[in-house]
Structure 1
Amino acid sequence: MTAHARDGLERLLSAPTLSANETAQLLGLARSTVYAGIKAGEIPAVRVRRSVRVPSSWVRRVLQVDDSPEDPVSDN
């Protein structure tokens, strides 16, 4: 795994939102396709001034990424 891919995965798990470019990279899409999906209502997004942000929780669901702990500690 490249450092760039690792950074993208870390952002996916830690940041509340992702840029359209980050979303495109994680989903393996062109940035224009992400913007078209946002415009069509297929991809949820929040616009703050000129910035468009996609909830990372949505991207995790699409990619079926489980962000829960691998081995929860039991009290036994």
Structure 2
Amino acid sequence: MVVDGVLVTQPRPGKFRAFDATCPHRGVRVSPPSDGVITCMAHNSRFQESDGARISGPATGRLARISVSVQGESIVIP
């Protein structure tokens, strides 16, 4: 899910990750993950859902990670 420019993923049950939803290549929004892969909608750069690392495409770096925690039943992004 993308909220206020932040992509929140759940790579495995109970484990959440958050990333800037902007591709480092040209600043285009990335799509939510499919089969563990986050994809840029413009130029098809691909990133690992687990840590935002670049898999392929024109982006030269990873997605920027954002701190996330779970408090009760809420996902909290400072």
Query: Does TM-score exceed 0.5, indicating one fold?
Result: no
Q: TM-score, normalised by structure 2?
A: 0.26
Question: Which has the greater radius of gyration?
Answer: 1
Bigger proportion of residues as helix: 1
Structure number with higher relative contact order (C-alpha < 8 Å, ≥ 6 residues apart): 1
Q: TM-score, normalised by structure 1?
A: 0.26
